[in-house]
A = this chain, B = another copy of it.
Amino acid sequence: MKVNLMHGAGGAVFSDLLGKTLTKYKNNNAGGIGLESLDDGAVIPFGDKNIVFTTDSHVVRPLFFPGGDIGRISVCGTANDLSMMGGKPIALSCGMIIEEGFDIDILEKIVASMDEALLECGASLVTGDTKVLEKGAIDGIAINTAGIGIVEKPVRDNGLKPGDVIIVSGTIGDHGLCIMTTREGFDLGEQIRSDVAPVWELVKSAMDAGEIHAMKDPTRGGFSNAINEMAEKSGVQVRINEETLPIRNSVRSASELLGINPLDVANEGKVVMGVSADDAEAILKAIKKNKYGKDAAIIGRVTEGKSVIMETSIGGERFIEAPVGDPVPRVC
């Protein structure tokens, strides 16, 4: 069998490759939360605290897009997976693979953008590696970052409980539709901007405001993929109220034009969380104070059962399913 594009698109087909091949390691756990959990990061006990450890590679096209660039996404992507475990981002590594002939001016711009994002994250880039491949062996540049964070009490993606409330930290679908419309050269009157941003401060204020039972960043495969993973791993049903889902008008128009569901595409500065009902208002209020949380909303609730159900505006119901894979290739 051969690897196909959907194997790298973060959806159901990818899960299959993961389960059958990529997670066959017997040496998969360093004492805490390991690869077996398939969470946003791993956790390793260290003294009386825990190290969080995660990685993402970035191959987004174009390299620069409205609202961000491959450098910003490389820093935020990894810092956000640390944050999803409740971990404060501390240090990042950077492995660059560059095509012969790549412009050093562009490389400098990418480094400057990474540095700016690092400052915002409060993390440092402390180690790296560079490989240059012959012309044609890699398309431009690929950037891997790994990250280390610190957490006292890790947050998982599988802790949803019946009675919990689902919160999303802002509008859905911005990054994926930004990449798609930029690539296609669409003019929608209003420019759709990527939401790529570090969410640690937002997550921290939410953790300080109440009890978070489960958390995930809706990246490849979008909100649909993240919420399905959370529901399935937690062994619960999630019911989403369609009317409360924050989606920009421009994103909605673009998604209709392109035939792409905004719930299925990557976000790069958002969080989906399940919180105890008692704390929901306090947590929402804390999130809304953050500059990346202004459009946060309570969008659903957790019940006994399985699957993710959309309660539509006209009183109907339908399943929200994890997409086969993110519909936007090279989205991050």
Contacts and interface: CB of A to CB of B under 8 A. Distances in A.
A139 B125 CA distance: 28
Closest 4 pairs (CB-CB, A-B): A8-B132, A146-B146, A42-B126, A55-B93
Contacts of A98: 3, 7-8
Interface in A1-30: 1-9, 14, 17-18, 21-22, 24-30
A94 B125 CA distance: 18
Given A94-B55, A137-B139, A29 B108 contact: no
A107 B7 CA distance: 13
Contacts of A137: 59, 138-139
Interface of A: 1-9, 14, 17-18, 21-22, 24-30, 34-35, 41-42, 44, 46-49, 51, 53-59, 90-91, 93-105, 107-108, 111-112, 114-115, 118-119, 123-134, 136-139, 142, 144, 146, 148, 150, 329-330
Nearest to A117: B27
A166 to B, nearest CB: 25
Contact of A104 (B2, B46, B53, B123): B2
Contact of A55 (B9, B139, B144): B144
A104 B133 CA distance: 23
A132 to B, nearest CB: 3
Tallying the copies of this chain within the complex gives 2
A55 B128 contact: yes
A5 B90 contact: no
B28 A126 contact: yes
B131 A34 contact: no
Given A44-B91, A47-B47, 18 more contacts: A2-B100, A2-B102, A17-B104, A17-B130, A18-B130, A21-B111, A25-B111, A27-B118, A30-B126, A42-B126, A54-B127, A55-B93, A55-B129, A57-B95, A95-B144, A129-B144, A138-B138, A138-B142
A293 B98 CA distance: 35
A142 B98 CA distance: 12
5 contacts: A22-B130, A25-B115, A25-B125, A30-B124, A35-B126
B53 A130 contact: no
B94 A2 contact: no
A90 B44 CA distance: 9
Contacts of A138: 137-139, 142
A4 B108 CA distance: 15
Contact of A5 (B28, B55, B134): B134
A117 to B, nearest CB: 9
Given A3-B132, A103-B2, A127-B41, A119 B21 contact: no
Contact of A93 (B105, B126, B146): B146
Contacts of A9: 132
A91 B52 CA distance: 11
